[in-house]
Amino acid sequence: MGITYMDAKKLFRMDTRRTTYLIGLSPEGYVGHVYYGRRLKSEGNSYLLRMDERPFTPSVLEREKASFLDFFPTEYPAGGVGDYRESCLDVRCESGSIGCELQFEDYRILRGKPGLPGLPASFGQEGEVETLELVCRDALLNLKVTLSYSVFADTDIITRSVQVENCGEQHLKLEKVYSACLDMDNRDLEMLTLVGSWARERHIQRGGLRFGKQTVSSVKGESSHQEHPFLALVTPEATQETGEVYAMNFVYSGNFMAQAELTQFGQVRMTMGIHSDQFCWNLRPGESFQAPEAVLTYSAEGLGLMTRNFHDFYRGHLIRSPHQYAKRPVLINNWEATYFDFDSEKLLEIAREAKKAGIEMLVMDDGWFGKRNLDDSSLGDWTVNEEKFTSGLLDLVEKVNEIGLQFGIWFEPEMISPDSDLYRAHPDWAIRIAGRTPSQSRAQYVLDLSRKEVVDYAYGCVADILHSAPIAYVKWDMNRQLCDIGSACLGRESQGELMHRYMLGVYEMQERLVTEFPELLLENCSGGGARFDPGMLYYSPQIWCSDNVDAMERLRIQEGTALIYPLSTMGAHVGDCPNHIVGRNTPFDTRAHVAMAGTFGYELDITKIAEEERAKIPAQVEEYHRYQPLMQRGDYYRLASWSDRKPYDCWEVAAKDGSEALVTFVQVLAEPNMHSRAVFLRGLQEDAEYALEGTENVYGGDELMYCGYLVPSKQGDFVSRLYHFVRVR
Ligand code: GLA
């Protein structure tokens, strides 16, 4: 396992437990992509680079650069010199033209993995990860491009990133710097992506690749509700258990491009990186630019293994929070309970009732600061509203603590309301194009976080509040997308840097927060789940999945989210009924069972719900805590999908040692004259026996996996059940 270089073959080889990745060098020094897939027993060869084939058939000409490069499978295509497929690097030089030709110069193999300055990035101990750095250079520009590959053998993950350094004399402009490229032959590949909208984020979409380019992307300044920085190419037969999967996910929270391109010769190019729209980075002599990290995995055992690779990798090598495996408090959030209409008395009322029900934390959402009684003012004025809190914030927090609950608070630090003291003092702190009236969205503007003084101010506001009272949790929200991209501070030459500098500002603020308040439980959020991405997971162990807490809507949202991200990261709450977004009524138990697949909490006015529902909460809290360690560490298996036209949804979490498994079954719509349904468990030990909790029944592990467990027929829509199997022999 690990990384080797075979000099005689000019071949780099990276091995993980189940995969091999091969990189070959052409005689000119082009860095070619030879192979990524199932682990090879043979040493590997570079014949797949097809260097002896004529560029056009039946042409008599030998290799010519342009046609050769347009066919050559490459690790990192630079634009302008003959590869007409999607480029990863576009460099404009002082003469104004774009062109770059990268040739291999040197390599290094390191134990461990260096961090990426200013950016979120995966990490690992020496012994867990090795890194290959391929140094390439464009001779004319004297541009050094370092391609980094970090091999996490245990989780079948290879991460990639790129650093570009100007070693020459010219002032260069980087107009595109992607992070990863994967060339391969087409095998009727299909493209699987996550798409949606506000309140229906990350629905799974799959379809055949067509000739040309197919993309998912964001130019909104965030990873977005609509499209997701994730792309998988799968063979047609791919299911949860079978078929091949190539997947890429981007450790970045801003603009992105993820693309598959099917070319004239039946090749596929898969690329991922920062979107080139609105991007132009100045690279002066001596400067370097670091592109964010892309995470790659390959599975020959279907989507399920891809999912478990990502889950294990993110839990082990990206999420840093001490809360990751700790007991997470069951919280109650007042947003859907009160919206802006609350004061300290109302919150204390909720806290007292919540305490009786066993809930452990009160989160005060939007509306506690400035004069914010609606979403039309005060962002930026992070001082407590003294009309709502006559005795101040500390008094409220202390009273909530006395009741026996921890206290959490909502912020939206990246924003500025036109109606705010901050805006009146610093109108130039808003992102806007000089001379143009900027567009408002939710009656707000976005702070120009490319400016140090703005980052310092916005971070300082959050830190001051956290220092003023014992606050255990922060919900960090971001409720509008960016447009009118202009900064009063960046010069004419540098406006194209704003979108990325904005993200660097956000990351700096969150880094400072988790450093200064290491015990804080941070939950990221963006109008629901518009910034649910690996970049954010580096700072917060949980992210609010969606503003939609309807249990049925959540089935699809959480299925798509859990395709990549661990269950322990998915912010999920029991909501009110009828649901505030779709108006649906679902049973209280079902709402809890669905939310237990995530971080669990309540988003309703506990003082107003029916007594019989309130009476159920203590048992739900207890149940959540009982299963939480399993959900936090176990292997996730998708057993059936409502989104895939089944009348029910079903998922399982099995302990890694096969000692227990929890199955959640949700019948979406009842069907007439229907017998029990077999669900086939996974991840158990064939020769062990399992008792079904709450019954006398004992089953063989092989029975549960191969014969199936029969879920009894039920009447009623939206009904659910948990089944906990525990190994007894
Ligand atoms: C966003 C969040 C909600 C809530 C509101 C408050 O929409 O996703 O949970 O915090 O903002 O304005």
Tokens 């022999």 label which residue?
Answer: 729
Tens of pLDDT along 87-146?
Answer: 999 999 999 999 999 999 999 999 999 999 999 999 999 999 999 999 999 999 999 999
H/E element, 536: helix 534-537
Q: Is the pLDDT of residue 63 over 90?
A: no
Is residue 274 within 8 A of residue 280, CB to CB? The reply is no
Q: Identify the pLDDT of residue 266.
A: 95
Distances (CA, A) of 508 to 17, 57, 234, 243, 458: 35, 53, 36, 41, 11
Q: Kindly write down the DSSP assignment for every residue of 417-486, as one continuous string.
A: -SSSHHHHH-GGGB---TTSPPPPBTTBEEB-TTSHHHHHHHHHHHHHHHHHTT--EEEE-------S--
Cβ of 719 below 6 Å from ligand 1: no
As a whole number of angstroms, the distance between CA 568 and CA 556 comes to: 17
Does the pLDDT at position 218 exceed 90?
A: yes
Judged against a pLDDT cut of 80, whether residue 576 lies above it is answered with yes
Mean pLDDT of all residues in the chain?
A: 97
Has residue 478 got a pLDDT over 70? Answer: yes
117 preceded by cis ω (within 30°)? no
- 57 against 639, higher pLDDT: 639
419 is catalytic: no
Residue nearest to atom 11 of ligand 1 (CA): 527
CA of residue 653 to ligand 1 center, whole Å: 30
The rounded distance, in Å, linking the Cα atoms of 713 and 692 is 17
pLDDT at 52: 87
| Under 8 Å between Cβ of 532 and 565 | yes
Polymer length in residues for the chain: 729
Residue 479, ligand 1, Cβ within 6 A: yes
pTM above 0.95, yes or no: yes
- Residue 533 known to be catalytic: no
What is residue 224's three-state secondary structure? coil
- 169-181 per-position pLDDT tens digit: 999 999 999 999 9
Which of 365, 448, 477, 533 is an active site residue?
477
pLDDT of residue 56: 73
Cβ count within 10 A of residue 72: 24
Q: How far is the CA of 454 from the centre of ligand 1 (A)?
A: 23
Which residue in the block uniquely carries the two structure tokens 């200064």? Answer: 516
CB contact set of 553 (below 8 Å; sequence gap of 6+): 199, 200, 546, 579, 581, 582, 584
pLDDT at 67 over 90: no
Helix (H) or strand (E) holding 630: helix 617-633
Is residue 534 in contact with ligand 1, taking CB distance under 6 Å? no
3-state secondary structure 546-587: CCCCCHHHHHHHHHHHHCCCCHHHEECCEECCCCCCCCCCCC
List all residues 6 or more positions away from 389 whose beta carbon is below 8 Å from its beta carbon: 343, 344, 368, 395, 396
Chain-centre distance for alpha carbon 491 = 33
Distance between CA atoms of residues 413 and 526, nearest Å: 12
> What percentage of the chain reaches a pLDDT higher than 70?
100
Burial 86-97 (b: 16+ CB within 10 A, else e): bbbbbbbbeeee
Question: Is residue 366 in contact with ligand 1, taking CB distance under 6 Å?
Answer: yes
How far is 279 from 219, CA to CA, in rounded Å? 10
Residues 6+ apart with CB under 8 A from 635: 308, 311, 653, 654, 655, 656, 682, 683
Mean local confidence (pLDDT), 687-693:
98
531 Cα to the center of ligand 1, angstroms: 13
Q: pLDDT digits over 295-330, tens only?
A: 999 999 999 999 999 999 999 999 999 999 999 999
Burial of 677 by CB count in 10 Å (0-12 exposed, 13-18 middle, 19+ buried)? buried
Cα 452–chain centre separation = 27
**Catalytic residue of the set 156, 312, 547, 589:** 547
Distance 476 CA to ligand 1 centre (A): 10
- pLDDT at residue 62 greater than cutoff 80: no
Residue 478 in contact with ligand 1 by CB distance below 6 A: no
**Residue (of 314, 232, 319, 216) closest to 273 by Cα position:** 216
The answer to whether residues 540 and 477 touch, using CB atoms and an 8 Å cutoff, is no
Task: Please provide the distance, in angstroms rounded to a whole number, between the alpha carbons at the two ends of the chain.
Answer: 35
Proportion of the chain above pLDDT 90, given as a percent: 97
pLDDT per residue as tens digits for the range 644-653: 888 999 999 9
Rounded mean pLDDT, 135-159 = 98
Give the residues across from 726 on adjacent strands. 660, 691
Going by alpha carbons, the residue nearest to atom 6 of ligand 1 is 366
pLDDT for 358 beyond 90: yes
Q: Is 527 in the pocket of ligand 1 (CB under 6 A)?
A: yes
Is the shortest distance between the CB of 477 and ligand 1 below 6 Å? yes
Q: Helix (H, G, I), strand (E, B), or coil: what is residue 170?
A: coil
pLDDT of residue 65: 84
User: What was the pLDDT predicted at 60?
Assistant: 67
DSSP 69-117: HTTS-BSSPBTTSS--S--SEEEE-TTS-B----EEEEEEEEES----T
Helix (H/G/I), strand (E/B), else coil: 177:
strand
At residue 592 the predicted structure's pLDDT band, cuts being 50, 70 and 90, is very high
> How far is the C-alpha of 488 from the C-alpha of 387, rounded, in Å?
35
Ligand 1: centre distance to CA 707 (Å): 45
